[in-house]
Each structure stands twice: as structure tokens, then as C-alpha cells.
Structure 1
């Protein structure tokens, strides 16, 4: 599917999508760290920066993170050469109160991370399909953090190498709602 844009926006946004076909080609740690650097500069409520990231690219760490993914994600994500687990801190540091904006802010950081990856020729696919309690235990996540997503990272692979025909058929950028469907002026209509 060819995406159509109403306005000229940055190429990284135009080109970013969430493929499932990954090459097992090794990627540079420097590129992964640059992606985290981009995420570090995302805005956040009260500049709280509630995010934490767990980088997995060494074999033992890769096996660990793969072990907490649901089977339907393992079908394709096992080939990715790196993962970043994204966590959000539930409470504010400054007053200990609930940080209702933590997931919003952490999602913004994920967006920055994915766009920097795109700029560097890497593809990303964020997943909510993981075993939450098992991940919390195996990744040693403290109670004050919530695991929001696990992101597979790598170079784009060959769609014909995906495990099922259904996965092969889905392997293209997703459609988007029309601009007119997602915004209103003045108040909700």
C-alpha cells in the first residue's frame, strides 16, 4: 500500500512503519545508543523523564527477552538482532504522586527513538505481546516501573522469509485514517 500525505512532513515519519521481517544482520551498538539519545530528549510533564530502557543485543540478553514474548510475536521477532524494553515510572519523583502522564511521555520517547532508528536505516516494531509478569521477573523490573512495550530493532528483512502466509500478506505499511477523521476544531463533535 502506498501511503499518501496531505502535507510535506519529514522523511523519517513518511518512511517509518512496523515491519515483521527482520534481517539477522548485526547492527552497531552506537546506532542503538543514538536511538536512546533521541528518546532522552523527548518532552515530559514537569521534565520528569519517567522512562527507562533495557537494551538487549548480547546473545544471553536476546534469549532472555525473546523468552518473555508471546508465541505469535516470536514467530517473527526472534530474528531481530536487538530489542529495547520500554518502561514508565508510575509516580513522580518530586512529590511521590501518581504520574498520570508517564505513559504519554514514555510513548513520546518511543516515537523519538523509532524516528532516529529510521534515520539510521533501522526498522522498529513495538510489541505489547509479552508475558507481563514473567517479563517483570526475568528483567528484574522494580515495582515502581511498568513495562510498556518491547521493541524489536534491526535491518529490514525479506518478507518471503516470514513463517506464515498471513504474516507475509500483512508485511506492508499500514493505512491511516483521513486527517478529517482524527481532528476537530473548537470542541469534540
Structure 2
């Protein structure tokens, strides 16, 4: 009697060993990618949150109220409010997916004008985008009532892997200067005209 050969089992084990090695390699690669993304987000968010807080305080010196998200109670520990502070040790920077400043001025249609930084993905590639949203007016919808219509300008847009902080700061400063001057001169058109001249239109939405 010819002994039974266990070829099938050996092949199955060999097949799974190769698959298992490939799965392990992909797990390691993806884990490394996630660690790199989280490190980048932590570094970038730490800088941007600090930048936006400084901008908010500069606007407050000319009595312009901006609201910020995340709020200072989340990320800051103060020695003397609002200028002497440091980041809370436990603050989770990598969990932040949006940072924004929102104008609360109730004249010239400024309420809701906002500078936003957000993360998004295209085909699993993470991007960072900075936009300026502004209210274009109101419209009455039959079933929803009055809604405010917002336009948007894309100020900065970059894959996270190619993020350039100097370029980001250049764009941030450009918009902040126009925004600030428009308040000093009490003329919102200065800001809107500047944005229309220099930046591409983004989406339109209602609130």
C-alpha cells in the first residue's frame, strides 16, 4: 500500500505563510504611515493653534471679537490671561481636525466670517486646507425658511507630506492683514475684494 502524501496540507501551510508575511508587512507599513501622520499633525496643529490664538488676541486689541475652536480652555494653561500661557501637557494635538477663527462682529454682514484650517483625504492621502468663509447674504427657502448663504475662498491647500510651514504662514499673514485692515477702516469690502483677487473660489453652502 502506497503511503498517503500530505502535499495539500504542505501547500496550504506554504500559501498561508506567504500571505501572513505580506499581511505583517502591510500592517507594519500602515502603522508607520499612521505614526508619521500623527507626528505631522501634532507638530502642525501645535503651531497653528498658537498662531490662531495670537491672531485672536491681536484683533481683540482693536475691539474685534473672534471666537476660536478649539477653545482656549481645552488647550491652554494660563499664568496670566490671555498672553502668558502654555499648552496643557495632556492636550491631544493629533486628534484636532479643524482649527478656526470666527468673526462675531454684527455689522456689515461680518457675523460668521471665518478662517478655517481643516484636514481631509483624497484616495487615502491626507491633505491640509485653509479657507476663508464669508456670508454673501440670505435667502428664503420654502421648506427651510431663511438661510444664510456662505461663499468660500481656498487660501492654502497641500498634501500633508509636502506641507510647508513658511508658505502656510505667508498665506495666513496675507489674509489676516486684509481682514485686520478691513476692520480698522470699517470696510468689509477691503477683505472680500482682496480674497476675490488673490484666491480661488471654493464651495458655496448655507447655514
- TM-score normalised to the size of structure 2? 0.24
Instruction: Give the greater-gyration-radius structure (CA).
Output: 2
Question: Comparing both structures, which one devotes a greater share of its residues to helix?
Answer: 2
- TM-score normalised to the size of structure 1? 0.26
